């Protein structure tokens, strides 16, 4: 199946080069090109592409505004191109909240060192994005209470324990080379009982993760009794801006992890991009270790690395949560957690932007609970507080 793409960028050179790279594989057809956001919206309605690539800074109408309008009129998977700077990170996070699925650096030299590798990465990313569900993402939690508005200590929210209802994807194409569908385990309804004491909660995610993490973390009260460790696949220049963004929106404290940080209740530590984060528990005090990114690992940070360290440091007392994302990172870390008697939750297919990472965990039989995204936060409050 050929995936149709609309390229939206004010640079004629970039439009031409991107078109040449994408069409070389025969799997992708560029059906149109727009020079600004307004023209991009019009062509999106006229051409109905499977994927739209979008620049963020353009005349007439910027990329973020264009994404918002496209998501209102006809939700379509959007891949943003941005600069790997602090400002680029801030703008890209705004675009993801507006509805974009994923992003890549606009400077191709930052993606790959040679043309063959660049072509492979760009084409695969387009194919992956084509199989996403832009219309399934929840309303962004930008209206969540800010830090001064504290939830009463001991508050509880009750939701069903599992959602296994499946629904069709509508008109969005699936890519045969990377199937996203798998039968989620059907489990009996969870019997309510007292909250379980976890020494730490680990959350791992990738594509769709920035919005998903925001949605989950903004539900937690400042009095959340467990420390949280967050692993989001993200470049080094993006994680500081992402941590600051979450910290402003959440009632718990969120910041990028640093070497020697101590895990504390109500504190969420985000793994820095380009590096690996491990947790060491010595003498009853858990500390963060930040290690250089190993070139042998595809992901920096890697969920498996962090979750594996949590399994060793807190055997039987860890809760691992795997949210939306491509690939299978997190599966082996969750397996290590389960082997020590800890619990694992995974996001369901319907609410995932990309059902890759949570699917890998569910298919391996490691999920104690399969939850919709909107259930994860309330279940954390119910099950941990």
CA distance 177 to 249: 38
Q: How confident is the model at residue 194 (pLDDT cuts 50, 70, 90)?
A: low
Q: Catalytic site residue 233?
A: yes
pLDDT of res. 43? 98
CA distance 135 to 192: 32
CATH classification code of 3-130? 3.40.50.2300
The gap from C-alpha 76 to its chain's centroid, in whole angstroms, comes to 18
Q: How confident is the model at residue 187 (pLDDT cuts 50, 70, 90)?
A: very low
pLDDT digits (tens, 9 = 90+) for 248-281: 999 999 999 999 999 999 999 999 999 999 999 9
In this structure, what DSSP letter does residue 134 have?
G
Domain with CATH 3.40.50.180 in the chain: 200-384
Catalytic pick from 94, 199, 233, 261?
A: 233
pLDDT of res. 157? 36
* Residue appearing with tokens 């045969």: 176
Q: Catalytic site residue 329?
A: yes
CB 346 within 8 A of CB 368: no
Domain with CATH 3.40.50.2300 in the chain: 3-130
pLDDT of res. 1? 81
In 218-339, where does DSSP find H-type helix? 239-249, 303-313, 331-339
| Structure tokens, 250 | 């959440």
pLDDT digits (tens, 9 = 90+) for 305-334: 999 999 999 999 999 999 999 999 999 999
CB 325 within 8 A of CB 356: yes
Catalytic pick from 304, 329, 343, 368?
A: 329
Catalytic pick from 136, 206, 313, 346?
A: 206
Fold of 200-384: Rossmann fold (3.40.50)
Q: Catalytic site residue 116?
A: no
């Amino acid at each position: 199946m050929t995936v149709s793409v609309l390229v939206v960028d004010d640079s004629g050179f970039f439009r031409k080069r991107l078109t040449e790279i994408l069409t070389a594989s025969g799997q992708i057809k560029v059906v149109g090109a727009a020079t600004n956001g307004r023209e991009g919206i019009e062509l999106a309605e006229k051409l109905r592409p499977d994927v739209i690539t979008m620049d963020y800074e353009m005349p007439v109408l910027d990329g973020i505004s264009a994404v918002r309008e496209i998501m209102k009129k006809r939700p379509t998977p959007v891949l943003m191109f941005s600069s790997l700077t602090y400002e680029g990170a801030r703008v890209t996070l705004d675009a993801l909240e507006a509805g974009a699925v994923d992003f890549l650096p606009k400077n191709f030299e930052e993606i790959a060192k040679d043309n063959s590798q660049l072509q492979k990465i760009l084409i695969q990313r387009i194919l992956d994005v084509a199989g996403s569900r832009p219309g399934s993402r929840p309303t962004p939690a930008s209206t969540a209470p800010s830090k001064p508005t504290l939830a009463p200590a001991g508050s509880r929210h009750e939701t069903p324990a599992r959602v296994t209802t499946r629904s069709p994807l509508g008109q969005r194409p699936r890519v045969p080379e990377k199937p996203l569908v798998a039968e989620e385990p059907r489990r009996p309804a969870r019997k309510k009982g007292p909250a379980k004491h976890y020494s730490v909660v680990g959350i791992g995610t990738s594509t769709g993760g920035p919005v998903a993490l925001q949605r989950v973390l903004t539900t937690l009260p400042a009095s959340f009794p467990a420390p949280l460790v967050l692993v989001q696949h993200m470049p080094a220049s993006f994680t500081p801006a992402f941590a600051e963004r979450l910290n402003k929106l959440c009632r718990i404290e969120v910041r990028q992890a640093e070497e020697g940080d101590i895990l504390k209740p109500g504190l969420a530590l985000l793994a820095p991009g380009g590096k690996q984060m491990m947790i060491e528990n010595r003498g009853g005090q858990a500390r963060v270790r930040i290690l250089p990114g190993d070139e042998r690992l595809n992901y920096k940070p890697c969920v498996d690395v962090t979750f594996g360290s949590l399994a060793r440091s807190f055997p039987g007392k860890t809760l691992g949560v795997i949210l939306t994302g491509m690939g299978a990172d997190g599966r082996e870390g969750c397996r290590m957690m389960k082997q020590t008697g800890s619990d694992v939750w995974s996001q369901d297919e319907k609410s995932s932007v990309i059902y890759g990472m949570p699917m890998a965990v569910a298919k391996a039989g490691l999920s104690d609970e399969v939850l919709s995204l909107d259930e994860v936060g309330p279940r954390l409050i119910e099950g941990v507080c």
